[in-house]
């Protein structure tokens, strides 16, 4: 996986684990090769989410640091639960591979 917004170093080894057609494109699940790669990819995703949140609220008088802290307070728990081994209930929700 490559995250262009974070530069050339933001590359994470993995493979497409599943793919599901959505109304406006595709939802793709990526399986990473190890915990360190998963952590790096999740941190990269978190940086992109914080950047997007700050751009949405750029009219506010709050500083970027305050907006970043606000996003972390609201969403950090979602990112702390990433794992190489998804819970069994999430596996049953994925489409069967062809």
Q: Tell me: the pLDDT tens digits for 11-36?
A: 999 999 999 999 999 988 888 989 89
Domain ranges in the chain?
4-92
CA distances from 4 to 7, 8, 11, 45, 86 (A): 5, 7, 9, 11, 26
Kindly report the length of the chain: 98
- In this prediction, the residues of the chain whose per-residue pLDDT falls under 50 are 87-92, 95-98
What is the model's pTM?
0.64
Q: What pLDDT, on the 0 to 100 scale, is given for residue 13?
A: 92
Q: What pLDDT, on the 0 to 100 scale, is given for residue 54?
A: 86
Which run of H or of E encompasses 42? helix 35-56
């Amino acid at each position: 996986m490559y995250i262009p917004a974070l530069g050339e170093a933001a590359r994470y080894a993995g493979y497409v684990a599943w793919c599901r057609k959505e109304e406006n494109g595709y939802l793709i699940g990526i399986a990473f090769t190890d915990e360190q790669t998963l952590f790096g990819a999740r941190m990269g995703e978190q940086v992109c989410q914080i950047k997007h949140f700050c751009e949405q609220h750029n009219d506010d008088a709050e500083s970027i640091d305050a907006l970043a802290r606000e996003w972390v307070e609201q969403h950090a728990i979602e990112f702390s639960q990433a794992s190489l081994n998804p819970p069994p209930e999430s596996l049953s929700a994925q489409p069967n591979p062809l």
